[in-house]
Chains A and B, each alone.
Chain A
Amino acid sequence: MARYGMVIDTRKCVGCMDCVVACETENNVPVGFSRDWITTEVRGTFPDLTMEIRSERCNHCENPPCVTCCPTGASHVSELGIVKVTAERCIGCKACISACPYGARYVHPKGYVDKCTFCDHRIKDGKDPACVSVCPTHCMYFGDLDDPKSTVSSLLRTRKWHTLLPEAGTRPRVFYLT
């Protein structure tokens, strides 16, 4: 089984939101909802400031609290190692939304809980997720973390990186290069 992950180079990201628009179009995300979004983090005191721009989404954690708390198994890890929701099993109890430290999930207007799928319908055809494929600065990489020859694996070996809220113990599979 592949272990898909995403690597995003914050040194190249300009926060253009192309990934956000591409996701909305590709996945028919209802208006007013986001499966991915841009976070801008400014640290320091003027004039010594540093800024990090990140394209954020579900981290497809290796230890996903949203999956363990689900009473029906609607929230699950797919055969591609991707955290997904089966709409026909979801009762809309929202426990997974409360359990997610990243705010990556929302209630779809149709009632079930919805989120980023890493565009697994595209992965199955050998394509990158929509957000990755449209990025004009080529700051996003997608691939198999178990394959040592993949771009994502070599980037994680050679560059400094961090994940979001590592203290939550969720082991995210979206990595940010710094």
Chain B
Amino acid sequence: MLEVTSTRHNPGIDPMLHVWGWEIPLYLFFGGLVAGMMVLAGVAMLRTARGEDTKAFFSIQTPLLGFMLLNIGMLALLLDLAHPLYVWAIYITFQPLSPMSWGSWVLLIVYGLLLISALIRLPESWPWLGERVPLLQKASDVFVKHPGRMRGLGVANIAFGIAVGIYTGILLNTMVARPLWNSAVLPLLFLFSGLSAAAAAVHLATVVFPGRPAPRGLIGGALAAMTQPLGAEPPAKKTIDTVIRADVAFLIIELVLIALLLLSLATSTLSHIEAARLLFSGSYGLVFWVGVVAIGILTPIVLQALELSHRIPHTVVPAVLVLAGGFALRWVLVNAGQASAIVQATAP
């Protein structure tokens, strides 16, 4: 028997660590979602560079949608900071061993990339702006009329999208004190969860924001650019099917990675086994197996497979479930991870 008593009672630390509430899971969710959207947008940009799909949606305004969603994530991150007035301190240094330092600088580049990627396509979706701001039209021509540059931008979007997707996992992964996070599978899991969420979000956006001919004026044009984040032309059925097929593939990979995560924990030290046990009981177990696995992954796989084989009509239900599952995954891993700790061996 081992009985440990402590006089310590620090808020957020005792009886178990809980310094990160809803803000960090929300930030990790939006970070992963935007990371996935950058990869999808990057692939679409490569197609645009080849002269395919030049007018439609993904390459045109996914970056704009991503930019807006990233701001929600960054707001959540800012709300989590206990000393927010000192946030500038991140950008006067670079700490090569700190994943958060890497992430902060990468996010700065991502902001720039998303902004460039969104701005250069704005004159197409909001002609009024292109006519009034010749500089923007010129900047747009610099990229859109040169397949090589478009390809470069696409590759940059894919590379930095993957970097952000992986970073959100590495951030947790490097903390030796929290055994649940100590698996190299975690960064990959977050990346693929982000990709599936991105495919779902893009799918959802095509339904929520139906394409209409863009009004040309100041207000109408701006509204159209903002509320039709996927552009004026509705996407072709073939492309939507490709997105759904990609989503199913991402979800299956996610399922395999979850199995690998549990396996890697279950075959490791006592602390890691105890950490994995957190996901098998109580509220964490419920959210993990029902919220993440059943509702967030298995149900959308089945529904989307049935949709693709035309056995049931297309709906946004699977997309909504995937997004909810993506958030539930971050929520349960951040919370159960904080509750996990290095376990002391007891004498028999």
Q: Does A80 contact B (CB under 8 A)?
A: no
Q: Which residue of B lies closest to A40 (CB)?
A: B5
Contact assessment for A103 and B13 in the assembled complex, using a CB-CB cutoff below 8 Å: yes
- Given A39-B5, A44-B1, A98-B20, verify A92-B10 contact (CB < 8 Å): no
How far is B97's CA from A65's CA once the two chains are assembled, in angstroms? 10
Chain A positions within 8 Å of B98 at CB level: 68-71, 95
Contact assessment for A34 and B175 in the assembled complex, using a CB-CB cutoff below 8 Å: no
Q: Does A90 contact B (CB under 8 A)?
A: yes
Q: How many chain A residues touch the partner (CB < 8 A)?
A: 50
The 0/1 profile, CB within 8 Å of A marked 1, for residues 165-189 of chain B is 0000001001111100000000000
Q: Does A125 contact B (CB under 8 A)?
A: no
Segment among B79-87, B125-133, B257-265, B321-329 that sits at the interface with chain A: B79-87
Contact assessment for B1 and A43 in the assembled complex, using a CB-CB cutoff below 8 Å: yes
Q: Does B116 contact A (CB under 8 A)?
A: no
Q: Does B6 contact A (CB under 8 A)?
A: yes
Contact assessment for B176 and A101 in the assembled complex, using a CB-CB cutoff below 8 Å: yes
Q: Does B19 contact A (CB under 8 A)?
A: yes
Chain A positions within 8 Å of B101 at CB level: 71-72
Contact assessment for A34 and B8 in the assembled complex, using a CB-CB cutoff below 8 Å: yes
How far is B205's CA from A175's CA once the two chains are assembled, in angstroms? 59
Chain B positions within 8 Å of A71 at CB level: 90, 95, 98, 100-101, 103-104
CB < 8 Å: which of A70, A92, A95, A106 contacts B83? A92
Kindly state the interface size class of chain B when it binds its partner.
35 or more
Contact assessment for A69 and B99 in the assembled complex, using a CB-CB cutoff below 8 Å: yes
B17-76 interface with A by 8 A CB criterion: 17, 19-20
Q: Does A2 contact B (CB under 8 A)?
A: no
Contact assessment for A169 and B17 in the assembled complex, using a CB-CB cutoff below 8 Å: no
Contact assessment for B177 and A168 in the assembled complex, using a CB-CB cutoff below 8 Å: yes
Chain A positions within 8 Å of B269 at CB level: 167
Contact assessment for A167 and B342 in the assembled complex, using a CB-CB cutoff below 8 Å: yes
- Given A72-B93, A97-B13, A106-B13, verify A168-B176 contact (CB < 8 Å): yes
Q: Does B236 contact A (CB under 8 A)?
A: no
Offer 9 A-B interface pairs, CB within 8 angstroms, sorted by A.
Answer: A40-B4, A41-B2, A68-B98, A70-B98, A71-B104, A91-B87, A94-B19, A103-B13, A103-B17
Other A-B pairs, 19, CB within 8 Å; known A69-B97, A94-B82, A99-B177: A32-B10, A37-B8, A39-B6, A42-B3, A69-B174, A70-B98, A88-B89, A91-B83, A91-B90, A92-B81, A93-B81, A95-B98, A98-B338, A101-B341, A103-B8, A103-B10, A106-B13, A107-B19, A112-B83
